[in-house]
Each structure stands twice: as structure tokens, then as C-alpha cells.
Chains A and B, each alone.
Chain A
Amino acid sequence: MDLYPFFDWLDTSMLADISKAYGGVFAVVQMFHLLGMSMLGGMVLVGDLRLLNVLLKDVPSKQVIENTQKWFTVALIVVMTSGIFMSSAVAMKLYYNQMFWAKMTSLALGVTFVYAIRRPLLKFNHDTINPWTIKLLAVTSISIWFTVAASGRWIGFS
């Protein structure tokens, strides 16, 4: 699927007019991206470290997962919205950037993983799930979100 037309459109859209014109606006939106990222990281880490039995061991893992879920989604919406805004400012550059595509791939994998597999599975009683599967869920989650963040930062350097 060729995404060039979409990126070309984004690059010259009204959104791009705003994001390209004002460095200050871009910086503030990027701040929301960073803060959203921090919240996402916090929710992911608290959940995953609980699944790995490292943190909050005396709170039932189901409770930890349930509590971090909502704010994870809030954070995800914040990073994706701010991300789209920032992308419009440099759309064509991103289209040709390998790291950007690595990030988008990881993001797609991450979103699929969380909403199609991990969340539905963890709705069941955690004691009935194979403990190794639970640990695997945590490790996969941390790996994916770390890759999203790290490849994201590296876009700026590549």
C-alpha cells in the first residue's frame, strides 16, 4: 500500500500550515507528546512490573492492570494526537525516514498487542493463566513500548 499520497497531502494540509509556521506551537505540542509518553511509560511499567512480580506485590495483579488501563488509553490518545500534529510539520521527511517506519510498525504492533491480545486475556482470572505466559506478556509489552520510544527519539538523529 503506497502511503506517499497521504504523506504528500499531510505535508501541505492546513494542519501542516500551523505546525510548520510556529516553532513555539510545535514545541508545546511536543511537550504534550513527552508528557503523554511519560504517562504511558508509567502505566506500562507499573502493570508489567506487577505481572513480573517485581512491584506492588501485595496488590492483586488484576487490580493493578485494571487501574492502569484507563490512563494508558488516555496517554495513547495524547501521544497519537500530538504525534500526528508533529508529523504534519515534517511529513515528507518522515516518509523517507527508516526510523519513522520502525516506530510506526512497533506502534501498530503495540496497539494490536494491547487491545487484541493482552487486555482481553488479562480479563480472565490471572491464577488460571500460565505464569510463564503472564511473564511473556510483560516482557513483550516492555520491549514494544521501549522500541516505540527509542526509535521515536532516534528519528531526530537520523
Chain B
Amino acid sequence: MSKQVILERLAIAFSIAVICAGIWFWGEQIRYVLETLALAEDY
């Protein structure tokens, strides 16, 4: 396999992994914010 093909496949795998991690991370932040706001309202 040529270097270019290896890099392309790495790029795709890495990108998908990173984007999934990103969605999880920011999802967690949004969840935390919503929780905090809900608590504030209850208070």
C-alpha cells in the first residue's frame, strides 16, 4: 500500500474517532449545563 493510501485511511479513522469523542465531550458539557440550570430553577 502506498504511503498516500495509508495516510488517507489513517485520516478517516482518526477523524471519525475524534469527531465521536468531540460529540461525546460537548454532549456532556451541554448535559451538565442543563442539569445546573434545572437545579437553579428548582431552588
Q: Are any A and B Cβ atoms less than 8 Å apart in their complex?
A: yes
Chain A contact residues, CB within 8 Å of chain B: 102, 109, 113, 117-118, 120-121, 124, 128-130, 133, 136-137, 139-140, 143-144, 147
Query: Interface code B1-38, partner A: CB below 8 Å = 1, 0 otherwise?
Result: 00110011011101100110010011000000000000
Are B15 and A136 within 8 A (Cβ)? yes
Are B8 and A129 within 8 A (Cβ)? yes
In the bound complex, how far is the Cα of B14 from the Cα of A147, in angstroms?
16
Interface bin, chain B: 10 to 19
**8 A–B contacts from the bound complex (CB under 8 Å):** A117-B11, A117-B14, A121-B11, A129-B4, A133-B8, A133-B12, A139-B15, A147-B22
Chain B contact residues, CB within 8 Å of chain A: 3-4, 7-8, 10-12, 14-15, 18-19, 22, 25-26
Given A133-B12, A137-B11, A147-B25, A121–B18 Cβ distance below 8 Å? no
Q: Name the residue on A nearest B22 (C-beta).
A: A143
In the bound complex, how far is the Cα of B15 from the Cα of A84, in angstroms?
27
Chain A interface main SS type:
helix
User: Chain A nearest CB: distance from B16 CB in Å?
Assistant: 8
Are B18 and A102 within 8 A (Cβ)? no
User: Chain B nearest CB: distance from A16 CB in Å?
Assistant: 29
Are B15 and A137 within 8 A (Cβ)? yes
Residues of B contacting A120 in the complex (Cβ-Cβ under 8 angstroms): 3, 7
